[in-house]
Structures are given as C-alpha cells and as structure tokens.
Amino acid sequence: MTKYRIETAVGIFVLAGLACVAYLTIHLGKVELFGGNTYTINARFNDVTGLVAGAEVQMAGVTIGHVDSIHLRPEDKTALVSMQIQKDVPLDEDAIASIKTSGLIGDKYIKISPGGSDVPLAPGALLTDTESSVDLTDLIGKYIFGGVK
Amino acid sequence: MESQPSQFFLHPAVVGRRTLALIGEFGAFACFLGFGIRSIFTLPFQFSKIIQQMYFIGVKSIFVIALIGLFTGMVLGLQGYYTLVKFGSEGLLGAAVALSIIRELGPVLTAIMVTGRAGSAMAAEIGIMRISEQIDALDTMDIDPIRFLIGPRIVAALICFPLLTAIFDVIGILGGYVSGVALLGINKGIYFYRINSSVELTDIMGGFTKAIVFGLLVVTICCFEGYFTHTRAGGFGAKGVSLATTSAVVLSCIFILVSDYVLTSFLL
C-alpha cells in the first residue's frame, strides 16, 4: 500500500514537472510541434542595423511572423533577411517591407505594407521593395555637420 | 632520515604533496562518477529503487522549491519594477523576471535547495552505511554497492532536477506576476506579452542543460563524500559522518556556482 502511495506521488510529480516543461518549451520557447505552419519569404535590405533573428514581422500592427535569419548577400553586398510568415497571411508581389523601431529605444521589427496587386508571393520568393532602418546617429550627424540642405 | 617540512611553510614539497593529493581526489571522483554512470546501464534496471529515490529527491522537495520560486519571482518583480519605472519602461518587467529566472536563478537555486534538503541526507545515509559496515556487507554478499546505492540516485537526480527546475521557473514567473501585476499594477497583457516575445527556446534549453549538469554534480559529490567517510582524516564514526555531510553540501554549492559560470560563458 505504501509502495502504491509513493508511486502515485512520484507520478503526480512527474506529470506536474512535465506540464511545466511543456509550458516553458512549447508556449514560451515557441516550438512548432506540427511544423509547416509558416512559409519563408526573403527580403533584400541595404542596411539592417539593429535587427536580430527572432524579431517580429508585423502587418497593420498585428504580428504575422518572425525573422528567421539574416545573412550578407555576397554578390551585391546587401543584407538578406529570411522571414517565417504564417500560412493564412498571403503576401502580394508588391508588398513593401520596412524596418521600424518600436518606440525610441525599443527593438527593431519588420513592418510589411500590403501591396495592391493580386499576384501572391510564392514561398521562398524575394521581396525587393524594402526600406532600411533609420540610423539615428547618422541622421544627427547630418544635422551637425551640415549635410542637410 | 630527511625531515618532513612543516605544513604551514610554503615549501615546494608541501605544494607538491597537496597538489598530488588534490589530483588523486579528482581522479577518485572521476572514477566514482564513471562507475556510477556505467552501473545505470547494467541490467536489470532497478525501477523500484529509482522510484523511491525520485520520491525522496523530487516529491519531497516540491514544497520548498515552490515556496522559494514564488518568493524569488516576487522579489525580482518588486526590484525590477522600481528599477525599470525610473526609465518609464516598467512594461519590460515580464522579460526581466522570466529571463533571469529561466537562465540563472531557476537552475541554481533549485540545485542549492535540493543539495540542502536531499544531498545532505544522501551523504549522511551512505556515510552511516559505511561506518556501520553495511557497504562492506554488500560487498561480501557480492552485491556491487555502487550499482545498488549510487546508480538509482544518479538516475533519479537526472530526472528530478530538470523537472524541479521547470516547476521553479513557472512558479517564479507567477511570483513576478503577483508582485508586478497584482500588487504594483502593471498591465497583465504587457507582462505576458513581454515574456512571450523575449524568451527563446535557447534560454530554456540552457536552463535545462544547467539543471542536468548540476544534478549530476550534486548527486555524485554527496554520494562520494558519504561513500568515502571512512578514509577521511580528522574524524571517524559520528564525527566522520558529520564532516562528510558538511563537506558534501559546501562542495556541492561551490561546484554549482563555479560550473554555472563556466556553463553560462559557453551558452551565451
């Protein structure tokens, strides 16, 4: 009887522990259990200063995906950003991706402005209509050293 | 005959003797760990002993882990709020609490609490078995004492430490919620949104890696100290067991914090 009680207690402990592990890894760690819920879109930027992998991708203020990886394209020395977009959000061919900052000192994220054409982007396609991040120090430098006409 | 140099004099021979003793101790520890791990994989598996040890290490530690987790989270919420509110960014409280608990405090505090509660008992139990010659009796009956006593404890610790750490993490985040949202009035949605957006899978996996390493270290150090109570200089019998228990807890805590630094520098 005592043995049965100990086994029950251990069973409850393991279940509670596994529930906590599941909450941490699946909910907070954003593990995609059944994969294939997203598709990849690439975008080419002149400058991605401050953007990191894992940053949000938003459309109209709603999160629709995240940045997967950032690489340098050797052929034209631009930054290639790979994004995972939710499958139920189709993007048009002429959508514009711009790098924005939430607040003055907040994190960088990518804002997608929907396009007007009805031609959807295929998974893995390259977005070329992009706006790079605004470099605040660069901007201030232009004011100070008279670059502004 | 050559006279022995004094213990307190920094004679090269003293340095050499102590270094050799230290290396010998590390070697014995590594062999003990190796035999312990090998004994896990020898058939038949000792399921009922593992369950008993899991009950002792895991179930009986839940209450203290939950209490420590809750108050750690609450105090982090309180301190974080008064620091962040100066910059007008108290919305970041969730991220601050969750990241510091998941990356550092969860694994470390869990390991230290379990060392104090279960590790000390382990060292004392095995130490008493040693001085009352029960381990020699096992040897006489051709039962491998390491497989019989240490193997199940290592398996139980490897399972229990990550689970207890997960419980600590979740309750700690709730503790931060209690002080940040319920008492100080931060927006509830912002708190959880920040946690969601800032915690990455690598943070959580890093925390679990630490928990597994700490579990292995704690259980091996505590069993090692108990197992070799009889070879300890400075006391035999009850005094030997008390010294073994003390050094098991102290060494475990030191090794937890040192290995935490090393692991963090690898994981970051």
Residues B230-245 have a mean pLDDT of: 82
| Inter-chain touch A21–B51, beta carbons under 8 Å | no
Contacts of B54 in chain A (CB under 8 A): 10, 13-14
- pLDDT at B149 > cutoff 70: yes
pLDDT tier at B7 (50, 70, 90 boundaries)? Answer: low
- pLDDT at B56 > cutoff 60: yes
- pLDDT at B227 > cutoff 80: yes
pLDDT tier at A106 (50, 70, 90 boundaries)? Answer: low
The CA-based angle A87-A93-A99, given to 5 degrees, is: 80
Residue whose structure tokens are 């228990």: B245
| Inter-chain touch A28–B55, beta carbons under 8 Å | no
Look at residue B8 in the predicted model and tell me its pLDDT.
Answer: 62
Give how far B14 is from chain A: nearest CA, Å: 49
| Inter-chain touch A29–B58, beta carbons under 8 Å | no
| Inter-chain touch A20–B169, beta carbons under 8 Å | yes
Residue whose structure tokens are 């399921």: B47
Look at residue A149 in the predicted model and tell me its pLDDT.
Answer: 59
Look at residue B88 in the predicted model and tell me its pLDDT.
Answer: 76
Q: What percent of chain A has pLDDT over 90?
A: 0
Cβ–Cβ pairs < 8 A, chains A and B? 74
Distance CA B124, CA B130 (A): 10
| Inter-chain touch B162–A25, beta carbons under 8 Å | no
- pLDDT at B210 > cutoff 80: yes
- pLDDT at B1 > cutoff 60: no
CB interface of B with A, residues 69-98, below 8 Å: 98
pLDDT tier at A62 (50, 70, 90 boundaries)? Answer: confident
pTM: 0.76
Tens of pLDDT along B81-94? Answer: 888 888 877 778 88
Residue A24 sits at the chain B interface (C-beta within 8 Å): yes
| Inter-chain touch B102–A56, beta carbons under 8 Å | no
Contacts of A6 in chain B (CB under 8 A): 51-52, 55
Closest residue, chain A, to B98 (C-alpha): A28
Give how far B178 is from chain A: nearest CA, Å: 18
Residues A38-51 have a mean pLDDT of: 83
The token duo for A50 is 């401050």
Closest residue, chain B, to A29 (C-alpha): B201
CB interface of B with A, residues 170-189, below 8 Å: 170
Residue B48 sits at the chain A interface (C-beta within 8 Å): yes
Residue A90 sits at the chain B interface (C-beta within 8 Å): no
- pLDDT at A37 > cutoff 80: no
CB interface of A with B, residues 40-59, below 8 Å: 54, 56
| Inter-chain touch B169–A10, beta carbons under 8 Å | no
HEC assignment per residue over chain A: CHHHHHHHHHHHHHHHHHHHHHHHHHHHCCCCCCCCCEEEEEEEECCCCCCCCCCEEEECCEEEEEEEEEEEECCCCEEEEEEEEECCCCCECCCEEEEEECCCCCCEEEEEECCCCCCECCCCCEECCEECCCCHHHHHHHHHCCCCC
- pLDDT at A63 > cutoff 80: yes
pLDDT tier at B222 (50, 70, 90 boundaries)? Answer: very high
Look at residue B201 in the predicted model and tell me its pLDDT.
Answer: 84
Closest residue, chain B, to A17 (C-alpha): B163
Residue whose structure tokens are 């003797």: B17
Q: Greatest CA span in chain A, whole angstroms? A: 88
Residue B201 sits at the chain A interface (C-beta within 8 Å): yes
Distance CA A87, CA A91 (A): 10
Residue A10 sits at the chain B interface (C-beta within 8 Å): yes
DSSP H helices, B85-119, are: 93-100, 106-114
- pLDDT at B211 > cutoff 90: yes
B interface mutation test: which of A3, A7, A26, A28 has the most B CBs within 10 A? A28
| Inter-chain touch A24–B170, beta carbons under 8 Å | yes
ipTM of the complex: 0.73
Residues A130-142 have a mean pLDDT of: 77
- pLDDT at A33 > cutoff 70: no
Residue B197 sits at the chain A interface (C-beta within 8 Å): yes
Quick one: which of B169, B205, B176, B207 has its CA closest to B192?
A: B176
- pLDDT at B177 > cutoff 80: yes
Q: What percent of chain B has pLDDT over 90?
A: 36
